[in-house]
Chains A and B, each alone.
Chain A
């Protein structure tokens, strides 16, 4: 009798636990399914044109893909799309070789609590809490002919670039500088946080063994921080594929001749222009490029994570 009661009780607990799990995961899983329905819908949309029927679209075969490949043809376009590809490659190099090392070095000095670190960490975090719109506005104003940079140029006797920093020719260079200027702040917080997670006992033991500061950095801190570094780089690279905002904000509306295109900007322009088929086709092509890169980085990250579990 007691056994029966006990077994009934256990069954009740299991049933209640199942209901709990169901309730807790119902919306998250439903939302995940919707997300993946939409992701697969992109494939369907890539073969259709939505100019007339905005919901169902008309089947157009490979026309959207042909349309995208035509964008790369220099004989058909004054600004062929391979510039967008080139710009994205440049941004990726920036993420890996400029922004990641800068933020790692800054985070390390903040970790060491250098002089004024409390003020510095606030100041360096400003780009994270500031809208890109505001940052672009402020940056643009500073580089205008009546801004402080011109004053600096006059003082140093340097020649002001013809057409200014935001002319059609110079705009992309200015965007790159802007991306360096604002690109490392988010990483600093993550790197600093993961450096704080390194157990003090590791560092203390190394110090007792006579390890120098560079030795501690390269043999303890850097390896332990490497999974986070890898993750942040992979997030940065993933961001490059849909990177559009600075180009959109830097360039005057309806202006041609500005060579500031990125793949993300093209997709955004197709989307807001309601050319859903072209946006979907371009999205698929970019996903095919992005997938192996992202999976490769994730695999590397997992390997590093396994090697430095602490």
Chain B
């Protein structure tokens, strides 16, 4: 039996068709732009200048993918930039899987005097946007001789109170107490209960946080630009490559090879966790 559409229903259907078309259009642009970059990364510079749209006319040139490794910025070659990026990733992963979980667990599961007030106070602090903090951070790091050092980056990255902690707090609060109570009865201490019972239950959410943090750090250009000038990361190096290409106006295919190489690890890492991110209900708990 076919239901007859009301005028409102027809408008709604047209609206959905328009939105769907827009979605398809945006998707094509996102994918298309990278296909274009990929194809052009196999061209020589003169070939690209004459033929930016089609397939390589002279030959598929893989040389850009070798030449890109000769690129240097502030005495760092691509491998050193990769090393710098991996250190930054390690720092951020350690911070992601430790401090917000510790704070989230205490606020989510422990009862202590002043907890509610402290939590409310934290919400207020998080609401206040403080702009221009980088200047104070730079001054602070310079005073402690931590400017341009990884220890300085660790201190700046190790904040626990943020949206990540709020989601973890709500996750821990919603978990049942039965296992923990049984463990307490068996003489387990607080640390055992935390590490053996509750921490593992946060791992699915944490794995999403870790992957998104790896992707964010891999793509982050600002932190190295402001706080680590002599330890450029891949993203900062790529930006410098763009500046060089802009000035010389010629070697865009080399830069395209850099873009593809930079994106490849992110896509691989993301493919492992994509399903979890898309199907997660926890992310939407951010309120």
> What residues on A are CB-neighbors of B203 within 8 Å?
none
Is B196 on the interface with A (CB-CB < 8 A)? Answer: no
Which residues of A163-195 have CB atoms within 8 Å of chain B's CB atoms?
Answer: 181, 189-195
> What residues on B are CB-neighbors of A196 within 8 Å?
279, 281, 284
Among residues of B, the one whose C-beta sits closest to the C-beta of A293 is: B129
- Indicate if the CB atoms of B33 and A279 lie closer than 8 Å: no
CB distance from A144 to the nearest CB of B (A): 8
Among residues of A, the one whose C-beta sits closest to the C-beta of B280 is: A193
- Indicate if the CB atoms of A271 and B135 lie closer than 8 Å: yes
- Give Cα A42 to B139, complex, Å: 10
Is B102 on the interface with A (CB-CB < 8 A)? Answer: yes
Interface 0/1 of B259-280, CB less than 8 Å to A: 1001100110010001001111
Q: A36-B125, A109-B16, A189-B277 are in contact. Are A134 and B259 (CB under 8 A)?
A: yes
- Indicate if the CB atoms of B286 and A231 lie closer than 8 Å: yes
> What residues on B are CB-neighbors of A124 within 8 Å?
23, 26-27, 30
Q: A148-B53, A280-B136 are in contact. Are A213 and B12 (CB under 8 A)?
A: yes
| Interface residues in A, total, Cβ within 8 A | 104
- Indicate if the CB atoms of A212 and B281 lie closer than 8 Å: no
CB distance from B228 to the nearest CB of A (A): 13
Interface 0/1 of A94-111, CB less than 8 Å to B: 000000001001101100
- Indicate if the CB atoms of A54 and B19 lie closer than 8 Å: no
Is A10 on the interface with B (CB-CB < 8 A)? Answer: no
> What residues on B are CB-neighbors of A151 within 8 Å?
53
> What residues on B are CB-neighbors of A137 within 8 Å?
238, 242, 255, 259
Which residues of A1-52 have CB atoms within 8 Å of chain B's CB atoms?
Answer: 16-18, 20-21, 24-25, 27-28, 31-32, 34-36, 38-39, 41-42, 45, 50
Is B190 on the interface with A (CB-CB < 8 A)? Answer: yes
> Which one of B99, B112, B135 contacts A42 once the chains associate, using CB atoms below 8 Å?
B135
- Indicate if the CB atoms of B283 and A190 lie closer than 8 Å: yes
- Indicate if the CB atoms of A45 and B103 lie closer than 8 Å: no
- Indicate if the CB atoms of A138 and B160 lie closer than 8 Å: no
Q: A134-B238, A139-B33, A287-B132 are in contact. Are A31 and B19 (CB under 8 A)?
A: no
| Interface residues in B, total, Cβ within 8 A | 95
Among residues of A, the one whose C-beta sits closest to the C-beta of B134 is: A271
Main secondary structure of the interface of A (DSSP, over half): helix
Is B31 on the interface with A (CB-CB < 8 A)? Answer: yes
> What residues on A are CB-neighbors of B27 within 8 Å?
119-120, 123-124
- Residue among A21, A128, A134, A249 facing the most chain B CB atoms (10 A cut-off): A134
> What residues on B are CB-neighbors of A227 within 8 Å?
287
- Give Cα A123 to B274, complex, Å: 11
CB distance from B113 to the nearest CB of A (A): 10
Is A295 on the interface with B (CB-CB < 8 A)? Answer: yes
- Indicate if the CB atoms of A241 and B129 lie closer than 8 Å: yes
- Give Cα A287 to B127, complex, Å: 11
- Give Cα A230 to B149, complex, Å: 38
Is B9 on the interface with A (CB-CB < 8 A)? Answer: yes
- Indicate if the CB atoms of B127 and A295 lie closer than 8 Å: yes
- Give Cα A137 to B258, complex, Å: 11
> What residues on B are CB-neighbors of A191 within 8 Å?
284
> Which one of B36, B106, B125, B252 contacts A24 once the chains associate, using CB atoms below 8 Å?
B106
> What residues on A are CB-neighbors of B31 within 8 Å?
123, 126
Is B235 on the interface with A (CB-CB < 8 A)? Answer: yes
Question: Among the listed stretches B57-65, B66-74, B76-84, B214-222, which one makes contact with chain A, having 4 or more residues with CB under 8 Å of it?
Answer: B214-222
Is A282 on the interface with B (CB-CB < 8 A)? Answer: yes
Q: Give 5 A-B pairs besides A138-B34, A301-B287 with Cβ atoms closer than 8 angstroms.
A: A20-B191, A125-B277, A129-B266, A137-B242, A291-B128
In the assembled complex, 11 residue pairs joining A and B whose CB atoms fall closer than 8 Å, in A order, are A20-B191, A27-B158, A28-B161, A32-B161, A42-B132, A50-B139, A109-B16, A131-B238, A133-B238, A279-B132, A295-B127
Q: Ordered nearest first, which 4 A-B pairs have the shortest CB separation?
A: A283-B132, A194-B284, A193-B284, A131-B219
